[in-house]
Each structure stands twice: as structure tokens, then as C-alpha cells.
Amino acid sequence: MEMYVEASKKIKKIASEVENSFYTTVLTGAGISAESGIPTFRGRDGLWNKYRPEELATPQAFEKDPKLVWGWYTWRMKLVFSKEPNPGHKALAEMEKMDLVKSIITQNVDDLHERAGSRNVIHLHGELKEVICSNRSCDYKVEAKTILDEIEKRLPTCPECGSLLRPGVVWFGESLPTEELSKAFQEAEKSKVILVIGTSAVVQPAASIPLITKRKGGKIIEINPDTTSLTGFADVSVRGGAGEVLTAILEILKRD
């Protein structure tokens, strides 16, 4: 974390802003889950440094080689399912219980927020725990954990229409789910404060969500180990990990 004295001042400022906000929303990115041992995509240890996204996370890649895509996703699912929520996830869940955080908008496809206890979570990029039908006119879905063993043996097919099943995530080149995106925009518009945590702020339209709050007269608070494209717009920006910073904020809020 940045110089202790400076960071301490910023943390007190953030706690004050959250405490006095009538509506606080949170936007999280891969950085918060990285602290649970889930690799990020664009950080120094990002998964895309080892794999080309066009080979693994596009509809075209799935059509060309579904076995390769499923092989990577079964590995990724097992990795994600084996991880636990970290202090950052838990602090946000506790703030929600205290009625200080109204919703969490996440770019992450894991369910660590929910497992930490958060209830109002909006998944912009889908959920890795779900497997869905690749036929857009079919609504079939199943929990990934229940068929992982089957997937490792053979490509999974939909029991209702016979099409291939696919991970329930948004791939590159696909549109975000309309309902979730609409909810996210609505939350940003209502917010007096939006906490932006562990996101590189380069993936659209998620990166524009904090700016909606800003345009409506609200404040952007950024928590990130690195500066981002959003840092210049933030009212408060603290350099540090989500777990450390959010735990410190929570401790102040509990005292007040």
C-alpha cells in the first residue's frame, strides 16, 4: 500500500464518504479475486499472458474447437471453485449487512461475493458456475459442478435440444446481458458514492459505469494497487489491495 500516513488519511476519508452516503454501489474487477488466488486477465500474472483470448473465449473459438475451449474452462472452473472469499469480499458483505453498500456490480464470473455473504450482486459478464445451452433459443441451464466429471469425458450436450452446452459467461465479441447491464446503469445513477475496486477500467461498457455516478453528481472512490484510466476521474484513489484497504475501512465504520 502507498505511504502509510497518506493511505491512512485516504481510508478515513473513504469511510466518511461511505458512512454519509445515502446510496453506495460497488464495482469490482479481477483484482479483488486475485487476492483469493484467481489469476487476473490483464495484470502482471494475467491469464492472457499465457493464452490468446481469441483461442479460448470467443464464440468462433468454441465453434472451431469446443474440446479445446471446454478443456480450458473445466480447468478454470475447478480452480475458481476451490478458492475462498478473501477479506475484501467479506468486508463488502459486512458493509451490505450494515446497509452501507446497496449493491455490487461485478465483472468477475466467480461467485466469491455471494459466498462471502453479499446478496445484491449483478454479474455483468455471466457466471462460471452456470453451464448454458449454446442454442440462443433454448433456455436450458445447469450448475457446472454437477456435470464437471461428464464434461471431462465428453462434450456436454443439451438434454432439451441436443445442442452443445457452453460456459455461462460472456465471451469476447458478445453483448452483455441486457437485464444485468440495465440494473447496473440504474444503480450507478442512484449512487452518491461508487467504490471501484480491483478493475483495470479498460473493458467497456463496465468501465463507463462509474462515470454515470460522476455525471449525476456522485463521487468515485478507487481502490487499486495500480493507477488506472479511471484514476484521474476519482475523487479519492488509494493504492493498495482490496482486502487490506476494505478491512481498514470496515474497522472505522464499525467504530463510528
Looking at the DSSP bridge assignments, the partners of residue 165 are 133
Catalytic residue among 89, 113, 123, 125: 125
Look up residue 101 and give its three cell numbers: 453498500
**CA–CA distances in Å: residue 59 to residues 12, 79, 125, 153, 223:** 45, 23, 14, 22, 33
Active site residue 125: yes
**Cα angle 76, 79, 83; round to 5:** 140
d(CA 219, CA 213): 7
Biggest CA–CA distance in the chain, Å, is: 61
Rounded distance between C-alpha atoms, residue 50 and residue 22, angstroms: 43
Note the helical H segments in 98-223.
112-116, 148-153, 178-190, 209-215
In the numeric block, the cell 460522476 is attached to 214
> Phi/psi of residue 241, each to 5°?
-75, 150
Residues across the chain: 256
Q: Dump the DSSP string for 62-88.
A: HHH-HHHHHHHHHHHHHHHHT----HH
Q: What does R_g of the chain's alpha carbons equal in angstroms?
A: 19
Catalytic residues: 125
